[in-house]
Amino acid sequence: FGVVKALANLVSGQLADAWGRKRVLVLGWLVGLPVPFMIIWAPTWEWVIAANALLGINQGLAWSMTVIMKVDLVGPKSRGLAVGLNEFAGYLAVGVTAFLTGYLASQYGLRPVPIYLGIGYAVVGAALSILLVRDTRDHVRLEASSHAQPAPISFRQVFALTSFGDRNLFAASQAGLVNNLNDGMSWGIFPLFFASFGLGIERIGILKAVYPATWGVLQIATGPLSDRWGRKGLIVAGMWVQ
């Protein structure tokens, strides 16, 4: 999931500029539609791995587009607020879902009942994206028309600049890397750690829900604060807390 999502994130921005935000968003949701059914019917672990790969594409395209489209709408002065609202909604939903699936799994087993939530999310997400969402590229063009445009640079140049060419971008990239390493470790190790102490599925679901729910709720504050105070201080504070 993580490897595929990273690759999808890598190309999602270019696809959004070439195809439009809405098309990439809808594509992400359509790719995600088979995932819950594959997990419900999976006869082997290979099916589960394939489902995780599709989920990685779904997240890399759809979640990235929700962030980009919100930033498009609010303009340069409220980008922190836009990202904060997106992360609040997303990670609070992750926390609630972790709690609900833990409860359902404890009552009805791991399959198929808890996965029904995933079917509902995928269908609703795809339907809303197709029927209600509007593309936001025109907002970007309007904003860009009032500023002098720099010469376009290639993907390789952007990659080099953000990876090691610019000190600030390098620092932000490595901070994001470390943060997501911790995130990935928590998803993989916490359930096993709690299970080793004999906790049941329902309690593991509750404990696992605390992390993303707390993350999401705090975004309501940290997003707008980053617009007022700047990003660096909040990043440093967050890394020290970790």
**Could you read off the pLDDT of 114-173 as tens digits, one per residue?**
999 999 999 999 999 999 999 987 777 666 666 666 667 788 888 888 888 888 888 888
More confident residue, 152 or 224: 224
DSSP-assigned letter for residue 115? G
Contact 136, 17 (CB under 8 A): no
Please give the model's pTM, rounded to 2 decimal places: 0.88
Region 2-143+157-241: CATH code: 1.20.1250
> Domain extents for the chain?
2-143+157-241
Torsion from C-alpha of 211, 212, 217, 219, nearest 10 degrees: 110
Half-sphere exposure (CA, 13 Å, Cβ side) for 170? 7
pLDDT at 124: 97
> Hunting for tokens 């640079």 — which residue is that?
153
Query: DSSP for 148-164?
Result: PPPPP--HHHHHHIIII
pLDDT at 12: 93
Amino acid, res. 106 = S
Contact 153, 163 (CB under 8 A): no
